[in-house]
Amino acid sequence: MKRLFLLFFLLCSMTVSTTFAQEKKAFTLEDVIPGGNNYFNLVPKNIPGLKWWGDVCVRADVDDIRQIDNRTGEETILVTLKEVNEALQNGEKPYKLLAPIKPLHTLQGASLPWENRNLLMFSDYVGDEEKSESYVFFYDFIQKKLTNMFRIQEANATNLDFCKENGYLAYTAGDHLYIANHGDFSTAVSPHPTGVKEIDNDIVYGQAVHRNEFGIMKGTFWSPKGTYLAFYRMDQSMVTDYPQVNTSTRIATLEPDKYPMAGMTSHKVTVGVYDVKTGKIIYLQAGDPTDRYFTNVSWSPDEQHIYVIELNRDQNHAQLVCYQVATGEKEEVLYEEKNPKYVEPQHPLVFLPWDESKFIYQSQRDGFNHLYLMDTKAKGEGTWKNGKLEGSTYLEHLKVTPLTQGDWLVQDILGFNAGKKEIIIGSTEISPLQTNLFSLNVKTGKRTLLGEKDGMHRASLSESGTYLIDNFSSFHVGREITLLPTNGKKGTTLLKADDPMASQFKLPEITIGTFKAADGKTDLYYRLIKPVDFDPNKKYPAIIYVYGGPHAQLIHNTRFYDARGWDLYMAQKGYVMLTVDSRGSDNRGLAFENCTFRHLGVEEMKDQVKGAEFLKSLSYVDGERIGVHGWSFGGFMTTNLMLTYPDIFKVGVAGGPVIDWKFYEVMYGERYMDTPETNPEGYKGSDLKQKAGNLKGRLEIIIGGTDPTCVPQHSYSFLRACIEAGTHPDFFVYPEDGHNMMGRDRVHLHEHITRYFEDHLK
C-alpha cells in the first residue's frame, strides 16, 4: 500500500509539473516593444530578402542568394557569400583602393538589376572617420569575379540612385549632386562647393523637397533610357533657421534646421535636367517659383517631355504641366483640378507600356483616390466640370477615361502585366481595414482579385507582371508568403507562420466594431482590448490610444488588429484599451478626412469623446478613470482632450505634441489650416496655450530634445503658458532624440509611460 501511495504521489507530481510547464506566461516590454531584447523572436516568421530578378524570384539571405521556382517553391543556390568575399579580398580590382575591403557579413542587401545578366550589385564602405570612401561593386556569379566598381570619394554619400539603362549612379553628398560612371571619379552635377558663392544648406541639389509632402521621397529622376537625369534644386536661403541644439558636445553646439513655419517664407524649388553625354543642364522654365510646389516629376517614354504637377501655396489648385526637355520650355497645361479645401497630388504619372501615348493619373476629385486614363493624342472638352465631391472641379485639356470608381480608394499601382494589358493595384475595395490585390483590365475595367480576400497584402511585381510576391497577414493569420500568379489562380506558398506570442503568453481579447461619429451618421471603426484574465464583475481603468490626423489609420485587419505591443502590455496590467479612427484619418475618402479643415482637433475630439462615452457604457469600465495617450498629431489630440474635456479624461501622456499650429511647417500646416493670417480664428481655436488654465488631471509631455518635426518650441511654450496659468503638467525629454525614440530609448519610453499611468490612473 505504501509503495502504491508513493507511485500515486509521483504521478500526481509529474502531472502538476507538466501543467505548470505548459501554462502561458506574462510578457514584458522587452518582448513587445521594438528595441526590446526579445522583440524580434516574437514576431511571426518572415523570409527576408525576397525580390525579383526579372521574372525569377530570389532570396537574398545572409550566406547565399537562392533562386526559387515560381511553381514548386524549390530553391537553388546562385551565389554564396564565401564566393563574393573571395573576389573582394583576392580578386582583381579596377583601381587601387584607399584601404583593404573588409569581408561582407551578409548578402541581404544585394540586388540583381538586370534580368538577363548574371550580376549582383552591392555597396560597401572603407576607411575611418578622417578619410573614407564608399564603393558599389558588380559581381558576375557565373565567372566569379568583380566586373566593375563605383568609387565614391565624397564623405557621407547618400540618396544613391542607380540607372540600369546607362549604368550610371547618381548620389548626393552634403547638399550637392554627383554622377559616377564605372570609374575612379565622379562628376559634380551641382556647382562644386569650393569656390562658389552658394553656401551649404542654402542651396540643396538632388534631395527630396517640400519637406517630403505630396508623396515626394527622392530628388533625382532618371529618364527611361538613361539619357538624362532630372533633379530638384531647392533654394532655402530665405528660410528661417530653427536653432536646434546638440547638448552631447562639451559646450552645447548650435545645429540649425531650415524650418519654414506656417505663414512664413518658404523655400523655392526648380527642376533641372542634366544631359549625361554633354554635361549640360537645362532648367524647366516654370516661372517664378515663389509660393509654389513642384510635385510628382515624370518622364515621357520617348524622353522628349517632362511632366510636373504644380500647386499654388493655398494647395487648392493643381495643374499637370508638360515641358519640353530640349529647351525647358513650358509646352501646355494638360489637366487642372480645384477644391475649396485642398488638392493633394501624391503620385507621378505612369505610362502604359503597350501605348506610350497614354498614362495613368491618380486623383481624389470624386472623393476617393481613383485611376484615370489620359490620352496625349486626343483633346478633351476644355471646360470646367463639377466632381462628385462638393466643391470639386476639374478641367480636361486631353481625353480622360475613369478606370476605377466607387466609395473605396486605390492605394497603389504595383505595375503592369503588359501581355494582358492589365494594371496590378492595391485597394480598399473589400474593406477600408484592408489592402487587397487586383488585376485591372484597362479596356474593360474588370477587376480580378489576386490572393486571399482576407487581410493586408504587401506585394512586389515581377518584370513581366505575371507573378507577385504576396506577403499577407490578418487577425487570424500570422504571416503567409505566396508566389502568386496575376491570372487569378492559386499560387505557391513559401511560408505559413503562426504568431509565436499566441503559444507562449496569455493574450487579451481583442475585438473591432463600429459606432456613429459625432455627426450622427458616419461609422467609425474602433478596437477594444480587454484586460488579460478579464473579470466582467470588476471595474477597470481605461486608456484611449489616439492619433486622429491625416494619412494615418490605427486599425487594420492585421495581427492584433494593429494594436501595438504597449497596448497589449497595458491590457496585461489591467487596463481596457480603446482606439478609434476618428474623422480626419486615412483611407475613408476625402470628405471623411477634410471635414477637419481649418479647425484641426475640433471634429476629431468630438469623435474621441464618443469613444469615451462608449467606454462608460461598458459595465466593467470605471468611467472616472479614463486616460489618453498619443504621439505627434496624437500628442496634440491628447493634450487637447485633457484641456477641452477635463472632466472626462483624468490622465494623459502626450508625445511630441503640436501645441500651436503656427509653429508647424508650411506644407502640412497650411494644407489643413490655411495660413495664420487667413484663418486667425482656426489657429486660435487650435492653440493649446490658450487652454493651459483648463488642466485638472495629470498630464505629462514627452519630447525628443532635437525633434525636427514638432520642434521643442511647441512644448516649451506650453510649459510657459501653464506656469502663467498656474497649472502643473509634467515634462520629460530624451536628449538628442528626434521625433521618435528608437532602440533602447523606445523601451525606456514605454516603461516611463506605463509608470505614469500606473501612478496616476490605476
Catalytically active residues, by annotation = 632, 707, 739
Q: Are 308 and 286 in contact (CB under 8 A)?
A: yes
Q: Are 305 and 321 in contact (CB under 8 A)?
A: no
Q: Which residues pair with 480 in a beta bridge?
A: 472, 496
Instruction: State how far the Cα of 138 lies from the Cα of 129, in Å rounded to an integer.
Output: 26
Q: Are 479 and 495 in contact (CB under 8 A)?
A: yes
| Number of Cβ within a 10 Å radius of residue 738 | 17
Q: Are 594 and 342 in contact (CB under 8 A)?
A: yes
Bridging pattern class, strands 621-631 and 651-655: parallel
| Number of Cβ within a 10 Å radius of residue 640 | 28
**Cα atoms found within 13 Å of the Cα of residue 84, Cβ hemisphere only:** 27
Alpha-helical segments (H) within 287-421:
none
Q: Are 586 and 594 in contact (CB under 8 A)?
A: no
Q: Are 529 and 509 in contact (CB under 8 A)?
A: yes
What does residue 105 show for φ and ψ, rounded to 5 degrees?
-105, -15
Residue 567: what residue type?
D
CA dist list (Å): 577 to 529, 531, 532: 5, 8, 11
DSSP 576-608: EEEEE--TT-SSS-HHHHHTTTTSTTHHHHHHH
Nearest in space to 181 (alpha carbons), one of 147, 157, 159, 150:
150
Q: Are 488 and 38 in contact (CB under 8 A)?
A: no
Q: Which three cell numbers stand for residue 335?
A: 489637366
* Helices and strands per DSSP (H, E), number in the chain: 12, 46
Q: Are 717 and 660 in contact (CB under 8 A)?
A: yes
Instruction: State how far the Cα of 477 lies from the Cα of 497, in Å rounded to an integer.
Output: 8
Q: List all residues 6 or more positions away from 16 whose beta carbon is below 8 Å from its beta carbon.
A: none
> In 3-state terms, what secondary structure has residue 637?
helix
Residue 358: what residue type?
K
Instruction: State how far the Cα of 581 lies from the Cα of 245, in Å rounded to an integer.
Output: 36
Instruction: State how far the Cα of 599 lies from the Cα of 601, in Å rounded to an integer.
Output: 6
Structure letter (DSSP) for residue 741: -
Q: Are 596 and 538 in contact (CB under 8 A)?
A: no
> In 3-state terms, what secondary structure has residue 186?
strand
> In 3-state terms, what secondary structure has residue 301?
coil
Residues in the chain: 762
CA dist list (Å): 612 to 506, 542, 617, 630, 696: 27, 9, 9, 15, 17
Q: Which residues pair with 731 in a beta bridge?
A: 701
Residue 507: what residue type?
L
